[in-house]
Amino acid sequence: MSQMQYNKKGWKHLTSSFAAIFLASLPALLFAQGTRLELPKNKYQVEDDLELGRKAAAQAEREFPLLRDGEIESYVNQVGQRIVDAIPAAFQHPQFRYTFKVVNAGEINAFALPGGPMFVNRGMIEAARTEGEMAGVMGHEISHVALRHATAQATEAQKFQIGSILGQIAGGVIGGGLGDIIGMGSQIGFGAGALRYSRKYESQADILGTQLIAKIGYDPRDLANMFRTIERQGSRGGPEWLSSHPNPGKRYERIEQEARLLGVDSSRSGDSAAFRRIQQRLRNMPSAPARKPGQGQRQPSSGEGAYSGRAELPSSTYRQMQTNRSQLSVPDNWREFRGDTSTAYVPEGAYGQQGITHGVLISAERATNSDLRRATEQHVESLLQGNPYLRQQSSLQGTRLAGQRALATTLAGRSPITGRTERVTLLTTFVGSDLFCFTAISPEEENQSYQSVFQRILSSLRFLR
């Protein structure tokens, strides 16, 4: 609350605000260790993380141009090892090997693979304002590894019988194609985009990342600042990092709260002479090579997915289904796949590692904007990023969805899965503070027969309050 608000509301409120602030600072005294985290449930062995990470790292090294510069590499490695040394005993896995490589790419991005291999784009180092900002993102990434989030997320996904998810992760962590339901909030063909962590895991990585960098002397607010820098780059059309690390909500507030819990004051400086030397060294180098088309995009391999070319025809009998936000009726031969924020209903032969070719996708995610049009535009934007083959065909049109004011648009493009033109219809509305999205997908040439199916599903849709 700003000083101005205090003044306007007067003396009485000033006191109560003061009391609230005082109370809020108490936990910092009581729990100077910060929030206690637990390892998420995981049915995989530590060795599985290692195996996945090894495969994905080998693939990353084939696909991404590494920056081979002893001085820069050893600097990034030093910062990384200091963070690793700060990992609490409960999250140390002796078999893990944390390694740090620098990718000669200008995008602000970094990723860490299960078991420890980490790749930091030079763009991340160049965009950071201080060493603390760079360390913050590395701390966040290292936290995902230490908490074994990739296999924990696979453990959760397996509850929904998605099949050989381990293979999917091995292929999908980098560069695209994690064909499971986890990441499909805004992706139809799970095409481009890395493993998308759930909000729950994002929040955990923010908290542990804050604890790690605070322990070795940085101000955790640097982590929050770096996220803001990444977001700003995102608005220019390249939020690659954010698409795999979605904002779990109140991200900055939570990091700042954790910093207070840890008793970190904001007088720490994350700057270092070494960092500035490395930035200067990068500036004196030729700029990063432009990404070749298709680079970082995984080539589909044989034997994955269950695409039949032609999906099983929709049954004429429907069954009622329920998601956490809605109920609706779908053909009773369609399968249900549930994710964190979305649910898909898909005929046999129409889903696989790269996404779905026929069916509907229901999702509800915290709206990014309180204006429906703006929130929908942002959703369409991320949809296009996740599915770069699509183009928006029409502007947003007003319509109704379950009796509510809604917007609709269509997208189309040549599906990389079927090689045929795919048509996507998107309807959006607000349910509480969530943006609810109904997405219908079918090949253009089957559009006519699917339109009536989609219509029937739409007319059965009701929101649960």
**Least separation, in Å, of the C-beta of 408 and Zn ion?**
32
**Least separation, in Å, of the C-beta of 144 and Zn ion?**
5
> Is residue 184 involved in binding Zn ion (CB under 5 A)?
no
Site for Zn ion in 123-182 (CB under 5 A): none
Nearer to Zn ion, 205 or 360 (CB): 205
Q: Which stretch binds Zn ion (CB under 5 A): 110-118, 197-205, 286-294, 332-340?
A: 197-205
Looking only at the bridges linking them, the beta strands covering 117-121 and 99-103 are: parallel
Nearer to Zn ion, 124 or 402 (CB): 124
Bridge partner residues of 434 (DSSP): 366, 431
Question: What type of residue is 421?
Answer: T
Distance CA 219, CA 123 (A): 22
Distance CA 145, CA 189 (A): 26
**Least separation, in Å, of the C-beta of 149 and Zn ion?**
8
Distance CA 12, CA 18 (A): 10
Asked whether 348 and 312 are in contact (CB, 8 A), the reply is yes
Nearer to Zn ion, 197 or 275 (CB): 197
Nearer to Zn ion, 221 or 245 (CB): 245
> Is residue 207 involved in binding Zn ion (CB under 5 A)?
no
Cα–chain-centroid distance for residue 110?
A: 13
Asked whether 174 and 297 are in contact (CB, 8 A), the reply is no
Looking only at the bridges linking them, the beta strands covering 355-356 and 359-366 are: unpaired
Task: Rule CB under 5 A: choose which of 221, 245, 298, 423 binds Zn ion.
Answer: 245
Residue 305: strand, helix, or coil: coil
Nearer to Zn ion, 132 or 347 (CB): 132
> Is residue 205 involved in binding Zn ion (CB under 5 A)?
yes
**Least separation, in Å, of the C-beta of 437 and Zn ion?**
23
Nearer to Zn ion, 184 or 208 (CB): 208
Q: DSSP H helical segments within 262-330, as ranges?
A: 273-283
Distance CA 263, CA 244 (A): 30
Distance CA 190, CA 64 (A): 21
**Least separation, in Å, of the C-beta of 248 and Zn ion?**
9
Residue 243: strand, helix, or coil: helix
**Least separation, in Å, of the C-beta of 460 and Zn ion?**
37
Q: Which stretch binds Zn ion (CB under 5 A): 115-123, 198-206, 252-260, 404-412?
A: 198-206
How many residues of this chain bind Zn ion (CB under 5 A)?
4
Nearer to Zn ion, 253 or 445 (CB): 253
Cβ-Cβ contacts under 8 Å for 20 (sequence gap 6 or more):
none
Site for Zn ion in 368-407 (CB under 5 A): none
Nearer to Zn ion, 111 or 438 (CB): 111
Contacts with Zn ion by CB under 5 A lie at 197, 202, 205, 245
